[in-house]
Amino acid sequence: MIPERVTLVDVGPRDGLQNEKQPVSTAHKVALVQRLQAAGLREIEVTSFVSPKWVPQMGDAVSVMAAIERPPGVRHSVLVPNMKGLEAALPTRPDEVVVFASATEAFSQRNINCSIAESLARFEPVVAAAHAAGLKVRGAISCTVGCPYQGAVTPDEVERVVVGMKAIGVDHCGIADTIGVGTPRAVQAVLERALKHYPLHEVSGHFHDTYGQALANILASLELGLHTFDASIAGLGGCPYAKGATGNVATEDVVFMLHGMGIDTGIDLDALVEAGGFISEVLGREPVSRAGRALLTKRRAAAAAAAVEAA
Amino acid sequence: MIPERVTLVDVGPRDGLQNEKQPVSTAHKVALVQRLQAAGLREIEVTSFVSPKWVPQMGDAVSVMAAIERPPGVRHSVLVPNMKGLEAALPTRPDEVVVFASATEAFSQRNINCSIAESLARFEPVVAAAHAAGLKVRGAISCTVGCPYQGAVTPDEVERVVVGMKAIGVDHCGIADTIGVGTPRAVQAVLERALKHYPLHEVSGHFHDTYGQALANILASLELGLHTFDASIAGLGGCPYAKGATGNVATEDVVFMLHGMGIDTGIDLDALVEAGGFISEVLGREPVSRAGRALLTKRRAAAAAAAVEAA
């Protein structure tokens, strides 16, 4: 049942950096995407066409999309919050666009100031326009296991939004544990609801590691046959709902597990760790990835030993 | 197959503190054990009767054992490296003693300066004497998935040591991933070998979180029916083989997953998080537990909000 091959979508350049307070230059963003591609990532969430008033970090979306290399076989997605965002995104030729909704009314109101139904209604013409432009539409459902405002979330609540996403034509259903409170059985229960409406290859898991549960949740998802997961290089992103806590699961940790299990990802872990080290250095800190930190530490020790030998 | 109840052995006071460079006072150690007991831990690895020349942090083993409360139902174990250690330990009335061996010759030589066979031969009379004193003997096998000196370790190598442990009369077989490189399938393969020689209730998993894999490995172990795991409050211990990296899996993270899965541990997570906060404050740092950090952050925010309300 566990798949032999897994596709990882690195959301570090968008979901990750969007939640980092420190401004990152366009050149560094482009260099990060470049390094992820070189490491073997074939799906990258590059940027977001949101208002720079709300998210200054994503204000260079057009420049980033224009500057990155677009090698064949790599799919670049961008987040669009509305029709205006889609219209700004289209000339930059993304391969996919990402739309989103919350599994809870409380989060929807607090995060985007409208009800779940209103958010889906707003996205309906966006999805249609994206399809008309030949783009795939990926939907992200947040707070599918827990919500910072409501608390616990039921699979029924999530399924209603999955059905709503499908009704407006969204091609792919991403199940996000936005605050990282999910545990294996709870995550499986939610994924089973998504799988009632979308095929296995169009459901993905997006897990946060705030409580250290992300890899266990990915393992539980693999056991349902799921083979697409979001992850964020160096664990970029933090957690906006618990200051100082961990957010997105780190791509390095996921790849370490998958490769250890003999599951193919097409990713070169060494190059990936280097990419994580690069962007962490830009941010002036260590990667929020346990595998990344351990492997960088080993690499530095080996380099230091080699330098002593050479001297 | 997944058990409904899991027993956690908190090894923080011994395995954890032994690998912390900063000296911790006897009073703080006793207070930590007390808090773990109050949080519902029923098995605690308290201290080690090793030479204070080698491990100064454990130099107060007798005082710690004399000072802790010994409520009925709580089992206190101590590590003994040899007969001299056992003789020093016996008057302090531990419930169990822990002996150890490595799965690799390289680690055995570097860590305790003898071969695996020599270490088992040395422990044989220790086990006999412990049994004669009415004590249970727990065996810990290190480096069962990877070794810092040898690299990869095969299940065959581990099974040989399991058989050796059984031959000298060790009652319980702890399978340790000392450097944290294990992933779910590799861990299951090793546990299956241990389960050929010991019953389910006498095999435990001891996983390090150096590469972020510990909870996934515990989940994989639960799927084999395993229901006893070591964990270290606040992730005490670090990793002596990768400076700055994470060591023992944090008890808080394990309990968060188990309770989320509806598995009973008898532990009060709030009290556990408080115990982790206590010893981390003693060490002057944040807990190396993602769940611990997230829950402490939420608690502090709630306390700050309540203070504002009251003012």
Q: Each residue of B216-265: pLDDT tens digit?
A: 999 999 999 999 999 999 999 977 766 666 799 999 999 999 999 999 99
The arithmetic mean of pLDDT across residues A55-60, rounded, is 94
The arithmetic mean of pLDDT across residues A11-19, rounded, is 95
B158 pLDDT tier (thresholds 50, 70, 90): very high
End-to-end CA distance of chain B: 53
Parallel, antiparallel, or unpaired: how do β-strands A43-48 and B172-177 relate?
A: unpaired
The arithmetic mean of pLDDT across residues A151-170, rounded, is 98
The dihedral through the CA atoms of B204, B206, B209, B213 has a sign that is negative
Contacts of A4 in chain B (CB under 8 A): none
Domain boundaries, chain A: 7-310
Spatial separation of the C-alpha atoms in residues A15 and B266, rounded to whole Å: 38
DSSP single-letter state for residue A210 = T
Please check whether residue B142 touches A, CB under 8 A: no
Q: Which of B207, B11, B203 is nearest to A216 (CA)?
A: B207
Please check whether residue B178 touches A, CB under 8 A: no
Q: What is the pLDDT of residues A259-291, one digit of tens each?
A: 999 999 999 999 999 999 999 999 999 999 999
Q: Which of B144, B288, B138, B114 is nearest to B202 (CA)?
A: B138
Pick the residue from chain A with its C-alpha nearest to B218: A216
Quote the pLDDT of residue A242.
66
DSSP calls for A277-296: HHHHHHTTS--S-HHHHHHH
Q: Which of A35, A34, A36, A40 is nearest to A264 (CA)?
A: A40
Residue A241 has pLDDT above 90, yes or no: no
Q: What is the mean pLDDT of chain B?
A: 96
Best B269, B290, B298 member to test A by mutation, with max A CBs in 10 Å, is B290
Catalytic site residue A173? no
Q: How many CB atoms lie within 10 A of CB A243?
A: 11
With tokens 């399924």, the residue in question is A159
The number of helix segments (H) and strand segments (E) in chain A equals 12, 10
Quote the pLDDT of residue B242.
66
Residue B1 has pLDDT above 90, yes or no: no
DSSP calls for A230-285: EEBGGGTT--TTSTTS--BPBHHHHHHHHHHTT-B-S--HHHHHHHHHHHHHHTTS
Under 8 Å between Cβ of A293 and A286: yes
Amino acid letter for position B237: G
Looking at the partner chain, which of A244, A261, A301 has a beta carbon nearest the beta carbon of B293? A244
A243 pLDDT tier (thresholds 50, 70, 90): low
| Min Cα separation A182/chain B (Å) | 7
Residue B282 has pLDDT above 70, yes or no: yes
Quote the pLDDT of residue A300.
87
Q: What percent of chain B has pLDDT over 70?
A: 98
Q: Is A243's CB within 8 Å of B181's CB?
A: no
Q: What is the pLDDT of residues A127-156, one digit of tens each?
A: 999 999 999 999 999 999 999 999 999 999
What are the start-end ranges of the H helices in A20-154? 26-38, 61-67, 83-89, 105-112, 116-132
Q: What is the mean pLDDT of chain A?
A: 96
Burial of B1 (0-12, 13-18, 19+ CB in 10 A): exposed
Chain centroid to CA B153: 21
Q: Which two tokens stand for residue B310?
A: 């009251």
Under 8 Å between Cβ of B143 and B179: yes
Q: Which two tokens stand for residue B49?
A: 């009767």
Residue A245 has pLDDT above 80, yes or no: no
| Min Cα separation B266/chain A (Å) | 18
Amino acid letter for position A288: V
Question: What CATH class has A7-310?
Answer: alpha beta
Q: What is the pLDDT of residues B23-66, one digit of tens each?
A: 999 999 999 999 999 999 999 999 999 999 989 999 999 999 99
Under 8 Å between Cβ of B88 and B81: no
The arithmetic mean of pLDDT across residues A198-216, rounded, is 97
Quote the pLDDT of residue A222.
98
Residue A207 has pLDDT above 80, yes or no: yes
Beta-carbon pairs below 8 A across chains A and B:
126
Q: Which two tokens stand for residue B237?
A: 């211990």
Q: Is B257's CB within 8 Å of A183's CB?
A: yes
Least confident of A270-274, B77-81, B257-261, B302-306: B302-306
Q: Which of A268, A263, A224 is nearest to A4 (CA)?
A: A263
